[in-house]
């Protein structure tokens, strides 16, 4: 089996009540857990990413410090390493996750491919080692990190499916545009 699941940024700060909470984030966390209870054997490996930003810097301009955030390239502080906001949402069961990816760490990072494993390998290195050729993508936010991660997976030569009922976005319009862009790039957009 060469299929993997990418769980993108299902963290407290990206769910309701968090620093950048999206509507439906908690439901996505719960939905992914329910999905994995039934379908975990579909996957050779399950990856989960987290933003993991530095507390003592603007993270390469990612955190707005001198002006209000523009919510395009600059953001309020979020997912600061070792804080409650950076932890996985409590409804997300991570017991089946084989590979954890941390991204950010002092710089802007949207795609899971910009992160590193606990062993310090890039995601591409890990996928090559594990011979992963097919990837299903779920998580938060459809119009930012899910979009960037799925595009990079396609660009890395993998077959990609986005499970549309297990993603949540910042805004309905930009989320629909993101899914359309991914479909045009070759991803399958399917129900779980």
Residues with catalytic function: 9, 103, 145
What does the buried/exposed string (b/e) look like for 93-109 if buried means 16 or more CB atoms within 10 Å of the residue's CB?
Answer: beebbebbbbbbbeebb
**How many of the other CB atoms lie within 10 Å of CB of 90?**
11
Q: Is the dihedral of CA 4, 12, 101, 99 positive or negative?
A: negative
Write the CB contacts of 183 (distance below 8 Å, at least 6 apart in sequence): 189
Separation between Cα atoms, residue 73 and residue 188, nearest integer Å: 28
Q: Which residue has the tokens 């990072």?
A: 109
**Contact between residue 152 and residue 6 where contact means Cβ atoms under 8 Å apart:** no
Residue recorded with tokens 């930009």: 174
């Amino acid at each position: 089996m060469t299929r993997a699941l990418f769980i993108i940024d299902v963290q407290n700060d990206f769910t309701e009540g968090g620093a950048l909470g999206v509507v439906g984030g908690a439901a996505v966390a719960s939905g992914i857990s329910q999905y994995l209870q039934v379908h975990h054997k579909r996957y050779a490996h399950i990856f989960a990413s987290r933003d993991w930003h530095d507390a003592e810097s603007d993270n390469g301009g990612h955190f707005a410090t001198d002006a209000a955030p523009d919510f395009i390239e600059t953001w309020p502080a979020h997912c600061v390493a070792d804080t409650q906001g950076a932890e996985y949402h409590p409804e997300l069961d991570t017991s089946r996750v084989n590979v954890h990816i941390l991204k950010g760490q002092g710089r802007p990072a949207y795609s899971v491919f910009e992160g590193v494993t606990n062993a310090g390998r890039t995601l591409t290195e890990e996928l090559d080692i594990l011979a992963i050729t097919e990837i299903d993508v779920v998580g938060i936010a459809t119009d930012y990190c899910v979009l960037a991660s799925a595009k990079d997976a396609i660009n890395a030569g993998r077959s990609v499916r986005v499970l549309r009922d297990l993603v949540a976005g910042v805004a309905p319009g930009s989320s629909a545009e993101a899914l359309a862009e991914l479909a045009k790039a070759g991803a399958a957009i399917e129900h779980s």
